[in-house]
Amino acid sequence: MEILKNIFNQFQVKQTVVKIEVLASGHINDTYLVYCSNGLNYVLQKINDQVFNNLNDIILNKVIVSNHLKTSYQKSNNKYQIAGFIKTENDAFFVEAHNGCWTLMEYIPKSKTIDRAHNEKQVFEASKLFGNFIAHTEALNTEGIIETLPKFHSVPFRFFQFEEALKQAKASRKAKAQELISFALEQQKEMFLLSELKEKDNFPIRVTHNDAKLSNILFDKEDNGLAVIDLDTVMPGIVHFDFGDSIRSICSNTVEDSEDLEGTTINLKFYEAFCKGFALETSNILTSEEKRYLPLGVKTIIFIMGLRFLTDYLNNDVYYKTAFKEHNLVRAKNQMALLKSAIQNYDEIKRITYSSFNL
């Protein structure tokens, strides 16, 4: 605790630390809640330099976006909040100490995170916040935001990785994954479409979150949305990938490593709740072309995640942490089952989407 206190004291906060606790949320960074004697709390975070090797750019993106949102919310009397960053004594936004890069953020009081949605209200509130994020960063110049993870949602790039893994994969792994391999190859043409349209400038490049899952939303005790958090992956991108990733993670009837493949389906009630909330915040700024391709964003992101899990399985599990021997194969099967559900329900998905956006 003394080490954490010493790091905290290098920021421009002249308060006495009462205690420091580990925050439960988050799987990449080390995050701590710092309690101070004046009743204010702060979030001290060590950025994982094993995952992010361009920490200056990551932090710069986070600071630019959070400052912009704070100003935008204040000007528009927006009810949502954003955790601002505290400067160090040297007027920087991070401290390099104890084999890490540390930032200090404001703590949003009386807030909680939710890992899985239990009702349509939680989905609706999350969708409004992610939509609000897109709407309120529209005025931000994307040229000032650095692409810290190039090709992150590029299907051609992910497919190239898959093909390379396939070339060197063990015969035993290829045999176990053969059905998934065949299915991935069958979907290739349609799954390339969004990337091709992006390259042809069919869509505006926006500031996107790129990890738009439920656990990156703060709620109050009544499940009202408060704030979007975890801006580590903020980059320029297209809206379809944030929309699709939200649906993939929030609107599935199982968790992503469930072996209940029959139960791994799109929850259409949750999907409708998400569309309605997202449309409330973004209808006035998204182009007709963007809206029309939102359903394809759902299929594309599910495909990307299924393909990435499958690729890692063929590569002998070198990227994702696994809890058991064929964890990545289970994840890949789960995501491809979810994609099949999206394909089977695609007409209804499009109907709900177009109705929500008045297309």
In DSSP notation, 217-231 reads EEE-TTS-EEEE---
CB 182 within 8 A of CB 162: no
> 6-15, 22-31, 223-232, 251-260 — which is least confidently predicted?
22-31
Q: Which has the higher per-residue pLDDT, 76 or 131?
A: 131
Q: How confident is the model at residue 223 (pLDDT cuts 50, 70, 90)?
A: very high
CB 271 within 8 A of CB 122: no
The segment(s) of the chain belonging to CATH 3.30.200.20 are 2-106
CB 145 within 8 A of CB 207: yes
Instruction: Please tell me whether residue 117 adopts helix, strand or coil conformation.
Output: coil
Over residues 311-343, the pLDDT tens digits come to 999 999 998 888 999 999 999 999 999 999 999
Which residues, in sequence order, are CB contacts of 173 under 8 Å at separation 6+? 313, 314, 316
Separation of first and last alpha carbons in the chain: 56
The per-residue pLDDT for 125 is: 98
Q: Which CATH superfamily is domain 2-106 in?
A: Phosphorylase Kinase; domain 1 (3.30.200.20)
Residue 39 has pLDDT above 90, yes or no: no
Q: Tell me the residue type at 125.
A: E
The per-residue pLDDT for 73 is: 94
Taking residues 23-30, report their average pLDDT: 62
In this structure, are strands 41-47 and 17-22 parallel, antiparallel, or unpaired? unpaired
Instruction: Give Dmax over CA atoms of the chain in angstroms.
Output: 62
CA-based torsion, 8, 14, 17, 20: positive or negative:
negative
Token pair 């009810």: residue: 79
The segment(s) of the chain belonging to CATH 3.90.1200.10 are 120-356
For residue 31, which phi and psi values (nearest 5 degrees)?
Answer: -125, 135
CATH topology of domain 120-356: Aminoglycoside 3'-phosphotransferase; Chain: A, domain 2 (3.90.1200)
State the virtual CA torsion across 154, 160, 162, 164 in degrees, nearest 10: -150
The per-residue pLDDT for 24 is: 61
HSE-CB at 68 with a 13 A cutoff on CA atoms is: 21
The per-residue pLDDT for 52 is: 59
The per-residue pLDDT for 3 is: 86
The per-residue pLDDT for 30 is: 82
